[in-house]
Structure 1
Amino acid sequence: MMDIVSKTIANSRPGRPRAVPDLAPELAPREQILLAAAALFVEQGFAGTSTRAIAEAVGIRQASLYYHFAGKDDILAELLDRSVRPSTDIAGRLERAAGADPSAAAAALYALAEADVRLLTETPHNIGSLYLMPEVRDPRFDSFRTARDELQATYGRLALLAQAAANRPDQEPPLSPTTLGALLIQVVEVVIPLRRREDAAPEPDPAAIAAAVLRLVGLDHEEIRAARRGAGEFAGT
């Protein structure tokens, strides 16, 4: 689908009604606007991208863009929301399913990290690379930051509970859930800079990154294997 969208954008005339048949009829104009904006925001930055440039990339009039979005703030807000909201929803379901069982929490943490890596890997044009833009700190994007903060907090709560599954008397004093969550979400989001590399770096392995998350929590190889098996039971949660 992404190849089709790229061809559609490339073959459209700037700022004019489409001069060629729509090559991606299954995509609504709103979705094409989001895809084009994602590419431009990543390549040129938010401040360096105008709504006119987005409309030209799609091959529609600027007025048509405003039919779907009030402005580029709204476009970025939706892109950011789509990059984190699915993981936040999954996190909530997994945490509820795990309950207070440490072994189930380890499996839920593995499942969450794996799902989160997949989402970040598949997000069009690596929109996650915009997380650290100064504009994202603006109150306009409070909804995104709130969702990401909740995702981070869920990582921390699951990690703290999962540490009890290791049950080793010589284990170092546990980090706080806040610190654990911040640490683990950074491990998962390593996918973002990896996608920006221009060399032939291999695709990030969701299973390997999920295992790294559990190693940081303090689980050993056998405990991680058990968590991986348990994660399969959360399918469809």
Structure 2
Amino acid sequence: MTGGTGEGPRRIGRPRADRLTEPRGRPPREELLCAAAELFTVRGYAATTTRTVAERAGMRQATMYHYFAGKEELLAELLESTVAPSLGLARRLLAETGRPAAERLWELCRSDVLLLCGGPYDLGALYLLPEVAGSRFTRFRRMRGELRGAYRALLGATPIGAELAGDRGALALRNDLVFGLIEGVMLIHRYDPARPVAAFAEATADAALRIAGVARDADPAPAGAGG
């Protein structure tokens, strides 16, 4: 799935397993991002230097600076690439008002898990870096905030969302629990990385809806649907 969002990286989407493990021959910018994804998650962001990233990508440090100004720019683009595809899907799902909101919320949860678990590196762990609070990552935080808001909008459009419409705190809490489960999925996946990702994604989406108090088949049929 591609982003198509107008946000996020221009030349690389979410680093996927097939991209990170294929033989070299990628464009230099993508090669650097793949190298950074590996080093930041395996060795640690603080322990990784720009020289190390360049060497891992098969180029000199001076060459790397033609594509990225430094580690922060590499990290920012990687982080944005983890959100852009899901944000693109979320925008499309929000527009599909003829479908039950619970069904759309389940689809977003499942797709997000597939993306988070689709590569060999836990890029979601990079969200916890203290550096992410800096101004260089404002765009990433805005994108992530919009995605979180899309989850809340879909939850709010379900029957339980209508029931909680007068209790914004309760609705926000349920949304935070759902969003937290999805973003924390790599911590669960890490215990059994050989688990089939498709089945794991569906089970996680099912669990997310249960946490939210949403029955996937409880939405009324769209207006004008036959009965």
Q: TM-score range by the shorter chain?
A: 0.7 to 0.9
Amino acid at match of 2:207: A
Residue 213 of structure 2 corresponds to 218
Distance (Å, rounded) in 1 between the aligned partners of 2:117 and 2:160: 31
**Which is bigger in relative contact order (C-alpha 8 A, separation at least 6)?**
2
C-alpha deviations, 1:198-217, integer Å up to 9, x for none?
x5662451111111121122
Find the partner of 1:104 among 95, 100, 106: 100
Residue 206 of structure 1 corresponds to 201
Residue 157 of structure 2 corresponds to 161
Indicate whether 1:62 and 2:61 are aligned: yes
Distance (Å, rounded) in 1 between the aligned partners of 2:64 and 2:161: 52
Distance (Å, rounded) in 2 between the aligned partners of 1:131 and 1:177: 24
Residue 179 of structure 2 corresponds to 185
**Structure 1: segments with no counterpart, 5+ residues:** 8-22, 168-172, 231-237
Distance (Å, rounded) in 1 between the aligned partners of 2:210 and 2:20: 40
Most deviating of 130-139 and 188-197: 188-197
8 Å contact from structure 1 (residues 38, 79) kept in 2:
yes
Distance (Å, rounded) in 2 between the aligned partners of 1:226 and 1:30: 47
* Cα distance change on mapping 1:32 and 1:44 into 2, 3 Å: same
C-alpha deviations, 1:20-56, integer Å up to 9, x for none?
xxx433x212111111101111122222111000011
Residue 113 of structure 1 corresponds to 109
Find the partner of 2:132 among 111, 115, 136: 136
Pairs aligned (count)? 200
Distance (Å, rounded) in 2 between the aligned partners of 1:84 and 1:163: 27
Distance (Å, rounded) in 2 between the aligned partners of 1:144 and 1:193: 21
Distance (Å, rounded) in 1 between the aligned partners of 2:151 and 2:20: 35
**Structure 2: segments with no counterpart, 5+ residues:** 1-15, 223-227
RMSD: 2.7
| Secondary structure of residue in 1 paired with 2:24 | coil
| Secondary structure of residue in 1 paired with 2:195 | coil
* Cα distance change on mapping 1:177 and 1:3 into 2, 3 Å: closer
8 Å contact from structure 1 (residues 98, 105) kept in 2:
yes
Distance (Å, rounded) in 2 between the aligned partners of 1:73 and 1:165: 39
Structure whose alpha-carbon radius of gyration is higher = 1
| Secondary structure of residue in 2 paired with 1:68 | coil
* Cα distance change on mapping 1:109 and 1:175 into 2, 3 Å: farther
4+ runs deviating over 2 angstroms:
1-7, 163-167, 173-181, 194-197, 199-204, 223-227
C-alpha deviations, 1:164-187, integer Å up to 9, x for none?
4898xxxxx775443232111111
Q: TM-score, normalised by structure 1?
A: 0.74
Q: TM-score, normalised by structure 2?
A: 0.77
Shift, 1:195, TM fit: 3.8
Give the structure with the larger helix fraction. Answer: 1
Indicate whether 1:149 and 2:151 are aligned: no
Distance (Å, rounded) in 1 between the aligned partners of 2:194 and 2:84: 27
